[in-house]
Structure 1
Amino acid sequence: MSTGHLATVRVGGASWLLPLRALAVTLAGVALLVLLVTVDLASGDYSIGLGAALRALVLGDDPAHALLIREFRLPQTTVAVLVGAALGLSGALTQTFARNPLASPDILGVTRGAALAAVLVIAGTTSGGYGAGLIGGGLQRLGLAPAAFAGGLAAAALLWILAWRRGLDPQRLVLIGIAVGATCTALTHWILVRASIDDVASAQVWLLGNLNGRGWDHAVPVAVVLAAAFPFSLLLIRHLNAIQLGDDTARGLGVALQRTQALTLLTAVLLAAAAVAAVGPLDFVAFVVPQIALRLTGTSRPPLAASMVFGACLVVIADLLCRTVLPTGVPAGVVTACIGAPYLIWLLLRTNRRHSA
């Protein structure tokens, strides 16, 4: 049953209002994603046709093509899809609960905290400082991915502690997040300055966000986190919709504001940390994608499913450009930064004009 541009979906005793435009945009995004994945699988140093790529993926009738697609290209493309979806959902959650388009894991310092922990694993024990070496040695026992995951959580915890003043103010959250990120970046550079040249080279490749050589071992942790976080995010939708009306109104509607904010931020941090642990920081994906999805769907807040789909599209596009257009070895993070940085400048100028008017 539909009402205007909304459709009512009932499952048992529960019901949801589903925006038809958002559904149409999301389905169009899924179709675009399927096309991009097919093109990505078919492209590379040895390119094959789209039809041949699909047959190799589904049927495997050509052993050479099946080996190329299934064993070498499919794992990396799958990582790109999962990481993009995780970052898109993470950005949508943070921007929704903070009611601020500038609130995303990379702006709030979460990805910088994950990067700091990863660099401590790669170069901390040779950085020449006892404290950094001790911490780096401890994190090395965890491994690169778990350490990056823990670093993202630690940065989020610090952000929460510093930003809390009888509640979370969205403007204060963003400002303190920028400071946390800047601090983590400064510490990362200090460690790299004191590390050996070989460790610095390895760390720099990882810090730029690199999809090259990613396999199923990188995809599985992100898939597990995403499979758990997306259904949980759907359970938070009603509370997040109420938060859009303001803190006092949300409390009046019975929303446990502090608990909802904490659960939303924790879910977003887990998603971002899992993505960064897999491929390194892919800057601006979580920042740009929710705003693109918001404008395409015309909803009152960044849509969760559409943000996931378009986040996956953006990262697959970055992977495709790195394979086919850009010089060999250029990491995907360079592409996402080139896309996101101009948008950040435009958004800041737009916000400044709005406040000046």
Structure 2
Amino acid sequence: MSRTWLVLISTTLALSVFSLVVGVADLSLSQISVTAFKGGEYDFVVNHYRLPRLFLAIGVGAGLGISGALVQGVIRNPLASPDLIGVSAGAGFVATLLLTVFPNAPVWMLPVAAMIGGVSVGLLLIIIARSVQLPPARMALTGIAISAFLASGIDYLLVVHPIEINTAMIWLTGSLWGRGWEQMPYIWMGLAILLPLSLWLAWRLDIVGLGDESAISLGVELDKVQAMALICAVMLASLSVSIAGTISFVGLLAPHLARLLFGHNHKALLTGSAVIGALLVLTADTIARGISPPIELPAGVLTSVIGAPYFIFLLKRYKGW
């Protein structure tokens, strides 16, 4: 177990250093170290462009990974993720509405709008589930229906407002382009608050995994635990989407890979999902910047290239679910 953690952390650190080196201007490690501490010729490239993107990629990936692990723990469906339950679509719809209808809105309003959209869909899902007593596994299907409805709304906005389509598409495909230090407090303050709460819920989610009757007989307040875990998941996913747009499949991939490495214990699963999610987004963002500079691909395109085939594999594996 300790060797696995050592490999993951070492890989993340090595990739972090590499992400500072690669780009339109290829810099050496000595240039980066001098610039980071003393400023100079490459001050803007390192301190105001690559360094904030590095920390944002780690934060966004960790948020999506933890969110996916919580969603799968509550719904008890291995195919569930923030993308599939509609949280990302909700954040995307409200953000697209802002970008197309109010293109001159202040920059700070975009994360706020995305947060409102994601949280609203999450609350709607909880209300529907409680009102009609949906089994946890069927919540995923309800989220897919909500996501499809909101996706059609996004398409409508893009068709009606073609002038703003480029800005909206960059955000919808998932990218850290144009993000900087001003977005840092959103994701890291969210992680500082919601990660400890998620870990507090960990052993309760382990018991919930035994089944509703077993959890209740062991003294777990089932509805309360499920609601708190879903709220944490929705908040983390909304924060991540509000900063980087809809980076797909990270919330699905990270928990599955963490489960292969660390098992089903939620304390290890949540922390493992955070590190693996950070590694996935950091890898995607680094490749997006370095594959063909100065052209920059959206990071969400690269995660989809990996995630879509894996999702098909999971559908085949869990076809009887």
TM-score, length-scaled by structure 1: 0.84
For 1:112 and 1:143, the matched residues in 2 are separated by 18
Aligned pair 1:314/2:280, yes or no?
yes
Contact 2:175–2:285 (8 Å) recurs in 1: no
Which sections of structure 2, spanning at least 5 residues, go unmatched?
none
Contact 2:284–2:299 (8 Å) recurs in 1: yes
Contact 2:263–2:269 (8 Å) recurs in 1: no
Alignment-mate amino acid for residue 169 of structure 1: P
Alignment of 1:50-199 (within 5 A): 50-54=29-33, 56-57=35-36, 59-60=37-38, 63-124=40-101, 143-164=109-130, 167-195=133-161, 197-199=162-164
Contact 2:68–2:233 (8 Å) recurs in 1: yes
- Counterpart of 2:244 in structure 1 is 279
- Counterpart of 1:346 in structure 2 is 313
Alignment-mate amino acid for residue 35 of structure 1: A
Distance 1:264 1:325, change over 3 A: same
For 1:31 and 1:201, the matched residues in 2 are separated by 37
Alignment of 1:30-69 (within 5 A): 30-54=9-33, 56-57=35-36, 59-60=37-38, 63-69=40-46
Alignment of 1:233-312 (within 5 A): 233-300=198-265, 303-312=269-278
SS at match of 2:174: coil
For 2:168 and 2:75, the matched residues in 1 are separated by 32
- Counterpart of 2:166 in structure 1 is 201
For 1:31 and 1:176, the matched residues in 2 are separated by 40
Aligned pair 1:232/2:209, yes or no?
no
Contact 1:91–1:287 (8 Å) recurs in 2: yes
Offset at residue 86 of structure 1 (A): 0.6
Offset at residue 140 of structure 1 (A): 8.0
Alignment-mate amino acid for residue 337 of structure 1: S
Contact 2:58–2:278 (8 Å) recurs in 1: yes
Offset at residue 298 of structure 1 (A): 2.8
For 1:56 and 1:199, the matched residues in 2 are separated by 37
Offset at residue 160 of structure 1 (A): 1.6
Identity %: 36
Offset at residue 167 of structure 1 (A): 4.5
Distance 1:326 1:247, change over 3 A: farther
After superposition, the C-alpha distances for 1:247-275 in whole angstroms (9 at most, x for unaligned) are 11000110010011000000010000001
- Counterpart of 1:14 in structure 2 is none
For 1:149 and 1:323, the matched residues in 2 are separated by 26
After superposition, the C-alpha distances for 1:277-332 in whole angstroms (9 at most, x for unaligned) are 11111011111111011101233557011110111111110111111114613111
For 1:232 and 1:242, the matched residues in 2 are separated by 17
Contact 2:48–2:181 (8 Å) recurs in 1: no
Offset at residue 81 of structure 1 (A): 0.9
For 1:63 and 1:186, the matched residues in 2 are separated by 48
Two-structure CA RMSD over aligned residues (Å): 2.2
Distance 1:199 1:229, change over 3 A: same
Alignment of 1:326-341 (within 5 A): 326=292, 328-341=295-308
For 2:59 and 2:241, the matched residues in 1 are separated by 11
Contact 2:76–2:137 (8 Å) recurs in 1: no
Contact 1:56–1:66 (8 Å) recurs in 2: yes
Offset at residue 49 of structure 1 (A): 2.7
- Counterpart of 1:132 in structure 2 is none
SS at match of 1:213: coil
SS at match of 1:164: helix
Rg comparison, structure with higher value: 1
For 2:169 and 2:255, the matched residues in 1 are separated by 28
Alignment-mate amino acid for residue 41 of structure 2: A
Alignment-mate amino acid for residue 49 of structure 2: F
For 1:199 and 1:24, the matched residues in 2 are separated by 49
Offset at residue 53 of structure 1 (A): 3.0
What is the aligned length? 319
Offset at residue 198 of structure 1 (A): 2.1
For 1:118 and 1:209, the matched residues in 2 are separated by 12
Offset at residue 52 of structure 1 (A): 4.2
